[in-house]
């Protein structure tokens, strides 16, 4: 047997298990990829909101990255919550030093509860230092608005933002997620030459804590397996749609998504 595919997440925590590192590792596992993590911040949060968080010291983030790369090299990497400028600069520097490819950036800025997870002053670092290193970046609408300085209220404006993020800011590809838009869950994919729409039914549910983390983790897992980018995004869309469609009804606020749903669907299909 060849080496198993390996993925790394560099992100913050969620003790209630729905977002951040926890969502990422569950997604890697469900997609049959060996998961590893570097913790940037310990976040006290649950489905109701963020209570407080503490950034890890830079030396500890650096040491965690070295611990991973000196031993078990990941085939793909994602970043989630990076919270402030010096964390972003450090991660960018280590990414370059370790010659990282297959890099998926979820440009986490605000939790579903509305709590800020990225310092206002750090947004430009995310764009200047890390965006040019990405294989793909997955902003939701408010994040795409922050990155581009545009107002985004329809599909054409999503496409214009996608084009700017790739053509001007140097991402290799982008998915602008329309989870916040209208009656359909419509995302726009752009890779510098091809535009594509990923469309799914929009489910009327409050159980959407960690949807963005899960979606970007699923792309990362697929890239780790060697799946071509466009197909990796397609699989991630199916994974997140199934995970939202079959809620597990935990928590008193925005509950977590269902990480078993994708595999249940696959097994159902293979039995059919
Ligand atoms: N209610 C819904 N029904 C179906 N799909 C949805 C729904 N909400 C979001 N999605 C899809 O889930 C994926 C994640 O999108 P979303 O915009 O929710 O991410 P996000 O805002 O970054 O999440 P997070 O709260 O983790 O930051 C996208 O593919 C989006 O279209
Ligand atoms: C640690 C962490 N990352 C990302 C999000 C966004 O959902 C969150 N709530 N918590």
CA distance 36 to 43: 18
Complex-level ipTM beyond the 0.95 threshold: yes
From the list 17, 20, 212, 255, the catalytic residue is 212
Residue 107 CB–ligand 2 contact under 6 Å: no
From the list 17, 27, 148, 213, the catalytic residue is 213
pLDDT in tens, 106-122: 999 998 888 899 988 89
Could you give the percent of the chain with pLDDT greater than 70? 97
Known active-site residue 210: yes
| Residue 272: predicted pLDDT | 46
Q: Which residues contact 199 (CB under 8 A, 6 or more apart)?
A: 184, 185, 186, 187
Known active-site residue 212: yes
Residue 261 CB–ligand 2 contact under 6 Å: no
Ligand 2: centre distance to CA 66 (Å) = 24
Nearest residue to 100 (alpha-carbon basis) of 230, 190, 220, 236: 220
Q: What is the CATH number of the domain that holds 216?
A: 3.40.1190.20
Instruction: State how far Cα 8 lies from the chain centre.
Output: 12
User: Tokens 């608005």 label which residue?
Assistant: 145
Q: Angle at CA 179, nearest 5°, toward 258 and 223?
A: 65
The verdict on residue 168 lying in a domain is: yes
Ligand 1 atom closest to the CA of 110, numbered from 1: 27
The verdict on residue 91 lying in a domain is: yes
Sign of CA dihedral 58, 116, 221, 198: negative
Known active-site residue 213: yes
Nearest residue to 184 (alpha-carbon basis) of 236, 113, 237, 263: 237
From the list 26, 78, 112, 177, the catalytic residue is 177
Q: How confident is the model at residue 153 (pLDDT cuts 50, 70, 90)?
A: very high
The verdict on residue 271 lying in a domain is: no
Q: How confident is the model at residue 32 (pLDDT cuts 50, 70, 90)?
A: very high
Determine the structural domain holding residue 255 and report its residue range.
6-203+211-259
The verdict on residue 272 lying in a domain is: no
Sign of CA dihedral 136, 139, 144, 146: negative
Known active-site residue 208: yes
Ligand 1: centre distance to CA 232 (Å) = 17
Nearest residue to 50 (alpha-carbon basis) of 106, 111, 108: 111
The verdict on residue 267 lying in a domain is: no
Residue 18 CB–ligand 2 contact under 6 Å: no
- Four-point Cα dihedral 33, 37, 42, 47, nearest 10: -10
Ligand 1 atom closest to the CA of 236, numbered from 1: 29
The verdict on residue 102 lying in a domain is: yes
Ligand 2 atom closest to the CA of 115, numbered from 1: 9
Rg for the chain, CA atoms, rounded: 17
pLDDT in tens, 59-118: 999 999 999 999 999 999 999 999 999 999 999 999 999 999 999 999 999 988 888 999
The verdict on residue 24 lying in a domain is: yes
Report the phi/psi class of residue 83: left, alpha or beta, with left for phi > 0 and alpha for psi in -120 to 50.
left
From 198, 215, 218, 262, mutation site for ligand 1 pocket: most ligand atoms within 8 A of C-beta = 215
Ligand 1: centre distance to CA 266 (Å) = 21
**Phi and psi angles of residue 148, each rounded to the nearest 5 degrees, phi first:** -95, -15
Count the residues in the chain. Answer: 272
CA distance 101 to 9: 13
Q: How many domains does the chain have?
A: 1
The verdict on residue 239 lying in a domain is: yes
């Amino acid at each position: 047997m060849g080496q198993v595919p390996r993925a790394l997440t560099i992100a913050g925590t969620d003790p209630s298990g729905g977002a951040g590192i926890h969502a990422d590792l569950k997604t890697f596992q469900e997609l049959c990829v060996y998961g590893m993590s570097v913790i940037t911040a310990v976040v006290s949060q649950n489905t109701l909101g963020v209570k407080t968080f503490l950034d890890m010291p830079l030396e500890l983030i650096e040491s965690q990255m070295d611990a991973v790369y000196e031993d078990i090299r990941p085939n793909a990497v994602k970043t989630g919550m990076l919270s402030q400028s010096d964390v972003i600069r450090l991660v960018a520097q280590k990414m370059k030093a370790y010659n990282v490819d297959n890099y998926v950036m979820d440009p986490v800025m605000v939790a579903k509860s509305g709590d800020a997870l990225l310092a206002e002053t750090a947004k430009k670092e995310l764009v200047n230092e890390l965006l040019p290193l990405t294989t793909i970046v997955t902003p939701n609408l408010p994040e795409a608005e922050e990155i581009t300085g545009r107002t985004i209220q329809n599909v054409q404006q999503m496409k214009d933002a996608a084009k700017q993020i790739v053509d001007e800011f140097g991402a290799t590809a982008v998915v602008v997620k329309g989870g916040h838009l209208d009656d359909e869950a419509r995302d726009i994919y752009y890779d510098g030459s091809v535009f594509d729409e990923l469309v799914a039914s929009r489910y009327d549910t409050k159980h959407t804590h960690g949807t963005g983390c899960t979606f970007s983790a699923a792309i990362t897992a697929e890239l780790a397996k060697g799946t071509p980018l466009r197909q990796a995004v397609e699989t991630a869309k199916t994974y997140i749609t199934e995970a939202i469609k079959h809620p597990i009804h935990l928590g008193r606020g925005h509950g977590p998504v269902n990480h078993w749903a994708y595999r249940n669907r696959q097994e159902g299909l293979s039995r059919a």
